[in-house]
Amino acid sequence: MAARQPFTDSDAADEAVRTTCDDATTCKRFATSQGYWKDLHIHYFVRNVGERKAPEINRGYYARVKGVNLLLDEFIKKTECKCQIINLGAGLDTMFWRLKDENLLPQKLFEVDFPAVVAKKIHNIKTKPPLSKPIIDMHSTDSLLLDAHNLDSDRYCIVGADLRDISSLDEKLKKFHLNPELPTLLLSECVLVYMTPSQSSNLVHWAAETFHTAMFINYEQKDRFLTTGWDHADALDMMTVYSMLPQQDVARIELLEFLDERELLQQLLQHYCICWASKDKLSLGKRTLVLYF
């Protein structure tokens, strides 16, 4: 029997990163329970609403979810669903079920996260028919793979992998039929910040080298993309994004809870930004691949 590897500072750091998955899902669960946006499947991953979150936190998540979804949905519509999505550090995200319900499912959606996070998500899918049935319904053969750390179907794939190990990540994705020729959207929400600059640059460079028509959405400075093979990059702070969301819906959510100090919300949102980078060999169009807002 092989000796157990000693617990290291790196192990502790990785565990701290994994806990952010639960924290983010819990915050989203509370915000949706208050009516900020609809998510019909998040309660299958987090049963209890949990303790009340501050209004500025809820509005921050609202801006983040809506901003990312606007870019994501526009990309899918522009390609007429003939694309693939890679959600890096996906956690317990419910993207697959939302896109299926809205008839926006791409040719294939890939999700990647630590094996421990993936195992938790797959367990929920296995044991909850409202999660598993849509996956089975969209699968056309008997080759559905569903084990502890991987799920692979015609339209949805979940991979347990370490984003710092590029060669292993590339091998696993290609094993599950990643197609470099398809227009590809890569999404990384609050992931690269937990990697070293060289590790995150390697990941971004791999994406630029692998796909000729692609978009990368991330909370990060844009300079990283311009030095790793992407043709264009741009960014907006989240306060600007918040001000550019459909104002009728913003007015609706601002009535949900009283915000004592709007300055706190401004400080929070100005601290973060949404960045997107693009390559456009197939000429999908500047509106989608460069700037939606």
Cα dihedral 212/179/217/93 (nearest 10): 180
Torsion of CA 20, 105, 29, 250, to 10 degrees: 110
Distance CA 68, CA 62 (A): 10
Residue numbers belonging to the annotated binding site: 64, 89, 162-163, 189
Residue 220 has pLDDT above 70, yes or no: no
Type of residue found at 290: V
Other CB atoms within 10 Å distance of the CB of residue 157: 24
The larger pLDDT score, comparing residue 204 to residue 292, is at 204
Residue pointed to by tokens 């973060």: 272
Distance CA 110, CA 91 (A): 12
Would you tell me how many other CB atoms lie within 10 Å of the CB of residue 4? 6
Burial 115-129 (b: 16+ CB within 10 A, else e): eebbbbbbebbeeee
Residue 186 φ then ψ, to 5°: -105, 135
Residue 197 CA to residue 11 CA, distance in Å, equals 19
Q: Looking at the predicted structure, is the pLDDT value of residue 288 above 50?
A: no
Residue where the block lists tokens 């909370």: 219
User: Residues 6 or more apart from 116 whose CB is under 8 A from it?
Assistant: 18, 160
Q: Which residue has the tokens 């039929």?
A: 177
Q: Strand 108-113 to strand 156-160: parallel, antiparallel, or no bridges (unpaired)?
A: parallel
Cα distance between residue 138 and residue 154, in whole Å: 7
Half-sphere exposure of 32 (CA within 13 A, CB side): 19
- Tell how far CA 51 is from the center of its chain: 24
Query: What is the DSSP track for 54-88?
Result: PHHHHHHHHHHHHHHHHHHHHHHHHTTT-SEEEEE
Instruction: Give the whole-angstrom CA distance, residue 218 versus residue 228.
Output: 14
Global pTM reads 0.90
Residue 287 reports pLDDT greater than 50: no
Q: What is the pLDDT of residues 40-55, one digit of tens each?
A: 999 999 988 888 999 9
Q: What is the CA 204 to chain-centroid distance, rounded?
A: 15
One-letter identity of residue 127: T
DSSP strand pairing (213-218 vs 273-280): antiparallel
Compute the distance between CA of residue 122 and CA of residue 119 in angstroms, rounded to an integer: 5
* pLDDT > 90 fraction of the chain, expressed in percent and rounded: 71
pLDDT, tens only, 101-158: 999 999 999 999 999 999 999 999 999 999 999 999 998 877 889 888 899 999 999 9
pLDDT of the residue at 292: 54
Report the binding-site residues for S-adenosyl-L-methionine: 64, 89, 162-163, 189
CA distance 234 to 290: 7
**Mean pLDDT to the nearest integer, 75-91:** 96
